Amino acid sequence: MDKKQNIIDGKTALGIELGSTRIKGVLVDYAGNVLAVGIYDWENSFIDNIWTYSLEEIHKGVRGCYSSLRKAVEKEYGVTLKQIGSIGVSAMMHGYMALDKDGKQIAPFQTWRNTNTQEAADALTELFQFNIPLRWTVAHLYQRMLDGEQHVKDLDYVSTLSGYIHLILTGERVIGIGDAAGMFPIDSHIHSYDQDMLQKFNTLITPYQEPWKLEDIFPRVLVAGEEAGSLTEEGAAFLDESGNLQAGIRLCPPEGDAGTGMVATNSVAPGTGNVSAGTSTFAMIVLDKQLSKLYREIDMVTTPSGFPCAMSHANNGTSDLNAWVNLFGEFAKLMGMEVNQGELFWKLYAKALEGDADCGGLLAYGYYSGENITMINEGRLAFLRTPDSKFNLANFMRSHLFTSLGAVKMGLDILMKDEKVQVKRITGHGGFFKTKVVGQRFLAAAVNAPVTVMSTASEGGAWGIALLAAYLVDKKPDEKLEDYLENRIFKKVLGDTVQPDEKDVTGFETFMKRYKAGLSIEKCAIQVMDW
């Protein structure tokens, strides 16, 4: 009855996250307990050499997710969802959403997956002496200018996917600092874009004689707990096609999936870290100071409250692994067996534990798209072995699980081995960890440190943005986000911790030597496999 009454009274927070393959909505109470979940599955498209989602797909997906959640509430509680205490929107970070003064899209939406910005990213990194990855919004913007695209002169607003959805719901041109940190370098002291770099960029583009400056077309930066607007009548009608949702609901700053992953794993304080492993894989380590020098493999971003954070971000994660699992599912059906997909994943993942520590000499690359950490700009998928490799199912699965962490490990090695960053705990979340123990054990081997997976891990970033929405309306005066999470949300959340196994650690290091050596094969494949 308490859950039902909280829903009726609007003592709830809703988080909606647009992930790569799924849009998920999570409704929670102010203690962080999940009351209902909504799901909408989707997939990106590769059109004219661009990874994208159409505006129609985006709108349909958000509405479909909310509709799924609304129906779940009606079925579970017999309540029509009308009032919500607060709402938060998050999405895949980075990318390029471009609008004109009328709010119309004037260029295809480019996701984080695109690596068509090498020239711009290199030039901006050199100018700023700060790593600008290929997927960052400013790299996309500058590349559009370098390429002479006509729409640039008509730009009135450029944002990420979360900022775009937030604009539809509230009319506000704002962004959470964690997501903003994937658009342009952030100064953590002023909680906004780095002013020196901003001036350098505006000076750089002076010859183009554009009618705008960067600060005119980028969203205003907010930190966790700040007001980010309210749901308008138009926003309510957009979100809820049934027409029952009331306007006036407060929204927290829109965030990126990296920031919501930090929140969902209680990794927002210096010395904490998390690894999100799914379609893409990224590790976030919260720092108490900046790194000693520039690394092209490491992004410097921030937590939702503004702490500096080092990110090792791999564009490719488990997509190829999932494709292989689906292939095994097809084979099972061919043999007359009806296999539950969840059971199929569980058995194949568990089988990997029986493999040789170094995967028996097998090597795989799940590069659906380019990979910034390894400086490869296009995707080619490969599975490799020598005549004397130990080719069996256990090693096959183990090699694909290892390679899902391969690129991100290269970045983590820089942080832990070269920069000597100290981490109190690493928390794992995402689909990679759904099968108990397996993903944890392999990540522990990759980082040579204990890895914890919490009981709430399956709720992911949608739960994280719901917590940020709850923090907006339920925080105490001067209560910091890290204290709110530690003392009020995660105090009773259980988790399992796996320690690194020495043989696994040694085996992973051997695998990584082959992984690095084999990158030349990937580069050759790009040249040869041009069909």
CATH number of domain containing 310: 3.30.420.40
Residue 240: what pLDDT?
Answer: 98
**pLDDT score of 1 more than 80:** no
CB 349 within 8 A of CB 438: yes
Residue 492: what pLDDT?
Answer: 81
Q: Per the domain annotation, does 435 fall within a domain?
A: yes
Q: Per the domain annotation, does 447 fall within a domain?
A: yes
Six-digit token string for 499: 């320690």
Percentage of the chain modeled with pLDDT above 90:
84
**pLDDT score of 129 more than 70:** yes
Q: Tell me which residue range forms the domain holding 281.
A: 266-316+408-499
Report the helix count and the strand count for the chain, using DSSP H and E.
Answer: 19, 23
Residues 308 and 323 occupy one common structural domain? no
- Nearest of 496, 473, 472, 476 to residue 487 by alpha carbon: 476
**pLDDT score of 463 more than 90:** yes
Residues 301 and 429 occupy one common structural domain? yes
Mean pLDDT of 246-273: 93
Q: Per the domain annotation, does 461 fall within a domain?
A: yes
Residue 438: what residue type?
V
More confident of the two residues 515 and 458? 515
Question: Within a 13 Å sphere around the CA of 287, how many CA atoms are in the beta-carbon half?
Answer: 20
Mean pLDDT of 477-487: 95
Q: Give CA separation, 407 vs 56, 263, 402, 521, in Å.
A: 33, 24, 10, 15
Residues 453 and 392 occupy one common structural domain? no
**pLDDT score of 372 more than 90:** no
**pLDDT score of 313 more than 90:** no
- Nearest of 312, 317, 293 to residue 301 by alpha carbon: 312
Q: Per the domain annotation, does 386 fall within a domain?
A: yes
Which segments of 405-530 does DSSP mark as H helices, in order?
A: 406-413, 438-447, 460-474, 481-484, 502-517, 519-528
Residue 65: what pLDDT?
Answer: 98
Number of other CB atoms surrounding residue 222 within 10 Å: 24
Residue 457: what pLDDT?
Answer: 63
Q: Per the domain annotation, does 468 fall within a domain?
A: yes
Mean pLDDT of 83-92: 97
Token look-up 């069996």 returns 392
Q: DSSP secondary structure string, 153-167? A: GG-SEEE-HHHHHHH
The pLDDT confidence band at residue 521, using thresholds 50, 70 and 90, is very high
Q: Per the domain annotation, does 437 fall within a domain?
A: yes
Q: Per the domain annotation, does 464 fall within a domain?
A: yes
Q: What is the pLDDT of residues 405-442, one digit of tens each?
A: 999 999 999 998 999 998 888 998 878 888 889 999 99
Residues 463 and 325 occupy one common structural domain? no
**Number of structural domains found in the chain:** 2
The pLDDT confidence band at residue 530, using thresholds 50, 70 and 90, is confident
Residues 394 and 514 occupy one common structural domain? yes
Mean pLDDT of 485-514: 93
Residues 325 and 302 occupy one common structural domain? no
Residues 327 and 466 occupy one common structural domain? no
- Nearest of 256, 97, 112, 58 to residue 175 by alpha carbon: 256
**pLDDT score of 394 more than 70:** yes
Q: Per the domain annotation, does 16 fall within a domain?
A: no
Distance in angstroms (rounded) separating the CA atoms of residues 231 and 13: 13
**pLDDT score of 93 more than 80:** yes
Q: Give CA separation, 343 vs 39, 324, 334, 350, 442, in Å.
A: 21, 15, 17, 10, 20
Residues 285 and 414 occupy one common structural domain? yes
Nearest 5°: CA angle at 208, between 204 and 213? 65
Q: What is the 3-state secondary structure (H, E, C) of 237-273?
A: HHHCCCCCCCCCCEECCCEEHHHHHHHHCCCCCCCEE
Nearest 5°: CA angle at 125, between 119 and 126? 90
